[in-house]
Structure 1
Amino acid sequence: MSPTTLEQRQLSIGAWLANAAGRHPHATIGIEGHAVSVAALDAAAGRAAAGFRALGLAPGDRVCLVMPASTEALHAWFGLAKAGLVEVPLNPAGGSELLRYCIEQSGATVVVCDAGREAMVRELIRDVEAVRYLVVAGGGTPKAAARVDRLAFEDVLAHPEGPVHEVDPASAAVILYTSGTTGPPKGVLLSHRANINLARHTTRLLGYTANDRLYSVFPLYHSNARYCSVMAAIEAGADLVMHRRFSASRFWDICREHGITAFNYQGAMMSILHKQPPRPDDADHPVRLGFGAPCPPEIFADFERRFGVRLTEIYGSTEVSIVTDMPPGDRRIGTAGNESENYQVAIVDDQDQPVPSGTTGEIVVRPKKPGWMFDGYHRMPGATAESWRNLWFHTGDRGQLDDDGFLTFVDRVKDSIRRRGENISSWEIERVVGGHPDVAQVAAYGVPSTLSEEEVMVAVVPREGRILDPAVLIGHCGGALTSFAVPRFVRIVNALPMTPSQRVEKYRLRAEGVTEGTWDSQAGTQ
């Protein structure tokens, strides 16, 4: 079957994996030094599917995974997909309240964890009535009898592969929980075909082949690692190397050591890499491209020149994958590209009316084809309807479209700061403050004003060996920012609270507010 014909087929993930194993059996996925070939993964997934079905689970039942990136996590992921079960991957480092909420809200009947987290997970599920089984990977000592039955994941994998069950490609494959920074996390329902569509789009966009070797530092409960790394690599027949943590100081050495040709980025990764001290061998590596968002436009060209890579930026989210993209031959630096072949994009005001080009508003999108976006928020019909009002999915992001349809991301709607009657972009402040030579990282956010609305505050991490003077930093902002956007408060910190996907957890900073030791530009003037 030709690749074109194959791409036109609607497949479940299990059928897609079996097909890929036939085409690229020897391609490998390596996680922290442990590698599995695509053929071996397909075989293990078939056994896992039989083992999960032996528990009496029915298609559509949910199974939570609370485990770090590992080959066992891959076996569970694809085994559940082959069985027609809905995988619910959770952050294993998440707080107990968050994990308990997600397990309970998902309605999962089975929880899979690694041995090191068994005691913690047992405590979490003690009062969650829907959970019937706890499956533990990696050995460990079985604890005393409890309300749930305990099984070893190795026993689940020991089942002989049974008959292939037909799974509807349009059925739910996974629930991915959003960060929930402004309220309870929402479970994003994604189908088999949506996952495969994203993997294939990524592969086409970046031109991945079996000669590539990809690199990811993102977790397996995040769509970036799952569909733009693991499944994209499998689709292309490329090898993949995954690490659980991002190391800026060792990044390029790791790429050299493993022969990496492409990597994914997001959050603050690019700024952090660019802030590393220059080395004579900065461009001496096999990497040809980076893929993700956002790379600040002021460092974009220098990053490509210094490190000898070509960057491809996109805009998307867990719900709507790659909305805009910037193919190598059609780039406009500082934007996230033009609308992809799969989505319509518009910018609207608070009344959902389109705004003129160059005007900031909320980014709304809708698919041009079926199977390209999420199917709603799990057990949250009100949130689903609100996000889909007026036949557009409302992203919660602010942006602009230029006359040629190129999208510029501004910030999250809830990340904008309201001061003196003006809406201020936290992203714009971070670009200016982050441009100071003594700044390694920065987060801008609003804190309550004693008068009304908000004041602008920044938390700043100095570069190693540098002493940062807040007054000098504010002087640096003069002229580059309008007067009402210049921060009032500067807080010097050793590190910013970050998610595993390298995004700043601003809700933590907002909750801490103006702390003792925070510098106030208006101190003594009121």
Structure 2
Amino acid sequence: MTTLTTKLIQQSDARGSALAVISDDLSLTWRELCDFSLRCSTMLRDKGIEKGDRVALLCSNRPAFLVAWFGLANIGAVTVSLNTGLVGEGLRYSVTQCSAKAVMIERAILDAKRADLEPVLEGRTVIVFDGEQDLFAVLSGLAADAPYEGLGSDPLSIIYTSGTTGLPKGVLNCHEAFLASGRWMSRYLKITEADRIMVFLPLFHTNPQMYAVMSALEVGCTLVIRPKFSVSNFFDDARRFDCTMFTYVGTVLSMLTSRIKTPDRNHKLTRCVGGGCPAEVWRAMQERFGIDPHELYGMTEVGGWVTGNSAENYRFGSCGKARPDVDVQVFDPQDNPVPAGTPGEIVVRPKAPFTILLGYWDNPKATWESSRNFWFHTGDAGTLDQDGYLYFLGRLKEIIRRGGENISPFEIETALLDHPDIADAAVVAVPDPIFGEEIKAVVVAKRDFPPQDVRHFLEGRVAQFMLPRYVQFVDEIPRTETQKIQRRQLQENDRGMIDLQGVEEHA
């Protein structure tokens, strides 16, 4: 096992003059990225940062994020990459729960969140930078630090889960978990040094860190950093920077296919990788844009991802097959494997050391509960087919239990997104004295239409017992920063909820 620093130096030596990072304002070669990162390590040491220290990093999508990230890794410090959308107590909780010794922050973010952060900054080192220009000016006056001589099993990162209920948990991963992700991602997707990976998802998130940055670090290809996702600029950016692939999450692909109806193949994009691609969107990406979605199954706790559709093993609608360095199974509530095609909980066990989380930071109870019987229990529902392809059904806690039937909201939501007048949709449980739970479809409509059309549209597309009884029209579906539906909010909000049973009876 090795470390991020070792791989960074290897790419600097092998491909020093090749581009590692491109943004609107600047480009960095692999040699420059390595050099600035090692100089950043020196700066951080001078400010008292030592091996094992937690440092909260608050930075937008820009090359400075990567320089700071690799710089902290070279000390053996633990980067706590915080969601830049956090405010108030949520932001303060993340800084204090990880016992951050320092906060490294972009000045624009500090100015915007000063009132939220000030109560927890006392006693912590605060490192502020405006952007690349001032940061690199400081680093240019420093000598490069000595390369880190630690182990692949050394802690590297804490990323807080964006759970929709309860306090977030800090997932602690080591160098090897990150490197293994890039190692297998580059093999699954046949990523080479000629690729250019577009990164528009926030760099504080597991997805771009483990899927994009680690793949680039593995093969020496180029990262194209965009400030944020934009449908209107997407293909123009892809053409301008000669991008060949990108990573996705949540509704990104649905937004592309719903807003761009005309074919566009005048680009070099060939594939994308991530999770949450409905079947119709998958098909539209291929037919309309010539881009193959490589759907995977993953989460921060399992080292980013554990199953994926590879170039060789690609099955439409699935989350692909397990990586060779992990075991993936589906268990019943008593932790017994279920037959192929039978729903259950997705569980993961590493075959190679240090490929999944080291644990939840300062939360031994959560770590123990998730690791029952020496398997990591994801809390997600899924099925495995006879050939070992995984199919994701949703969070176990989100499964609707109606009259003895277990119903996946994801399946109904996927069907609803095919409706020509629905821009977004979510499905949640509503308590019912007879069936235990009933189904509510929450819909963002592009234009007005009768509520009973929702049920009529779904007939023949989902099983009869999955047809919603209730419909609610809203302006938007509440989501976390990582596009997870905040289902509790939808369950608690009953304003304007329409009982279709009553509508049908009086129609």
Q: TM-score, with normalisation over the residues of structure 2?
A: 0.92
Give structure 1 stretches of 5+ with no counterpart.
1-9, 140-150
Q: Tell me what 1:360 maps to.
A: 343
> Do residues 521 (structure 1) and 504 (structure 2) align?
no
For the residues of structure 2 that align with 1:352 and 1:492, how far apart are their CA atoms? 40
Structure 2 counterpart of 1:276:
259
Q: 2:450 matched to which residue of 1?
A: 469
Matched, 1:100 2:92: yes
Does residue 228 (structure 1) correspond to residue 211 (structure 2)? The answer is yes
Contact 1:439 1:460 in 2 (8 A): yes
**Displacement of 1:244 after TM fit?**
2.9
**Cα gap change, 1:122/1:302 in structure 2, threshold over 3 Å: closer, same or farther?**
closer
Name the stretch that deviates more: 448-457 or 71-80. Answer: 448-457
Deviating more after overlay: 410-419 vs 78-87 = 410-419
Judging changes above 3 Å, is the alpha-carbon distance between structure 1 residues 470 and 244 closer, same or farther for their aligned structure 2 residues?
farther
What's 1:391 paired with?
Answer: 374
CA distance in 1, matches of 2:121, 2:221: 42
Instruction: Give, in angstroms, the shift of residue 246 of structure 1.
Output: 1.7
In structure 1, distance between residues paired with 2:19 and 2:186 = 15
Structure 1 residues 500 and 31, CA, compared in 2 at 3 Å: closer, same or farther? Answer: farther
Distance 2:122 2:371 in 1: 30
Structure 1 31/277 Cα, relative in aligned 2: closer, same or farther at 3 Å? closer
* Residue type of the alignment partner of 2:494: V
Structure 2 residue aligned with 1:416: 399
Distance of 1:93 and 1:204 partners within structure 2: 33
In the alignment, which residue of structure 2 is the partner of 1:162?
Answer: 145
Query: In structure 2, do the counterparts of structure 1 residues 488 and 338 end up closer, same or farther at CA, with 3 Å as the change threshold?
Result: same
Query: Are the counterparts in 2 of residues 216 and 241 from structure 1 also a CA contact under 8 Å?
Result: yes
| Identity value in percent | 36
Partner of 1:239: 222
* Alignment match, 1:5: none
Q: Secondary structure at the match of 1:447?
A: strand
State the shift of 1:153 in Å: 8.9
Is it true that 1:87 corresponds to 2:70 in the alignment?
no
Shift of 1:366: 0.4
Instruction: Pick the aligned partner of 1:191 from 163, 169, 174.
Output: 174
Offset, 1:452: 7.0
Q: Is the 8 A contact 1:15 1:82 kept in 2?
A: no
CA–CA distance in 1 between the matches of 2:428 and 2:136? 44
Q: Does 1:138 align with 2:119?
A: no
Residue 74 of structure 1 and its aligned partner are, at CA, apart by: 1.5
Matches within 5 A, 1:298-377: 298-320=280-302, 321-377=304-360
| One-letter amino acid of the structure 1 residue matched with residue 74 of structure 2 | K
State the shift of 1:349 in Å: 1.1
Deviation at 1:219, TM superposition (A): 0.8
SS state at 1:249 partner? helix
Distance 1:245 1:470, change over 3 A: farther
CA distance in 2 between partners of 1:522 and 1:158 (Å): 72
What secondary structure sits across from 2:55 in the alignment? strand
**Distance in 1 between the 2:240 and 2:148 partners?**
41
AA in 1 matched with 2:468: P
* Between 12-21 and 155-164, the greater mean CA deviation after superposition: 155-164
CA distance change for structure 1 residues 87 and 153 in 2, over 3 Å: closer, same or farther? farther
- For the 8 Å contact 1:442–1:461, the answer to whether it is kept is yes
Tell me, in whole angstroms, the C-alpha distance in 2 between the residues paired with 1:184 and 1:229: 28
**Pair 130,344 (structure 1): closer, same or farther in 2 beyond 3 Å:** farther
Counterpart of 1:68 in structure 2 is 60
**Letter of the 2:51 counterpart:** P
Q: Tell me: CA distance 1:213–1:369, structure 2 relative to 1, closer, same or farther (3 Å).
A: same
Q: Is the 8 A contact 2:307 2:323 kept in 1?
A: yes
Match of 1:144 in 2: none
What is the aligned residue count?
Answer: 501
Q: TM-score, normalised by structure 1?
A: 0.89
1:212 aligns with 2:172: no
Contact 2:36/2:139, CA 8 A, preserved across alignment: no
Q: Pick from 15, 18, 22 the counterpart of residue 6 of structure 2.
A: 15
Residues 1:47 and 2:39 are matched in the alignment: yes
Whether the 8 Å contact between 2:152 and 2:174 is mirrored in structure 1 is yes
1:225 is displaced (CA, Å) by: 0.7
Aligned to 1:146: none
**Whole-angstrom distance in 1 between the partners of 2:484 and 2:434:** 31
Are the aligned partners of 2:106 and 2:130 in contact in 1 as well (CA < 8 Å)?
A: yes
Asked whether 1:505 is paired with 2:497, we answer: no
After TM superposition, give the deviation of residue 158 of structure 1 in Å: 4.3
CA contact (8 A) 1:137 1:154 kept: no
Amino acid of the structure 2 residue aligned with 1:514: D
* Secondary structure class of the residue paired with 2:501: coil
Deviation at 1:170, TM superposition (A): 0.9
CA 1:452 to 1:311, structure 2 compared with 1: closer, same or farther past 3 Å? Answer: closer
Query: In the TM superposition, what whole-angstrom CA distance separates every residue of 1:138-159 from its partner, at most 9, and x where no partner exists?
Result: 08xxxxxxxxxxx989657743
Decide whether the 8 Å contact of 1:438 with 1:462 is kept in 2. Answer: yes
Partner Cα distance (2:497, 2:240) in 1: 43
Q: Are 1:113 and 2:105 an aligned pair?
A: yes
Distance apart, 1:462 and its partner CA: 2.6
Contact 2:243–2:269 (8 Å) recurs in 1: yes
Query: Distance in 2 between the 1:450 and 1:50 partners?
Result: 64
The whole-number CA distance in structure 2 between the counterparts of 1:302 and 1:86 is 41
Residue 290 in structure 1 maps to residue 269 in structure 2: no
Task: Give 1:41 shift.
Answer: 1.4
Give distance in 2, aligned partners of 1:27 and 1:361: 45
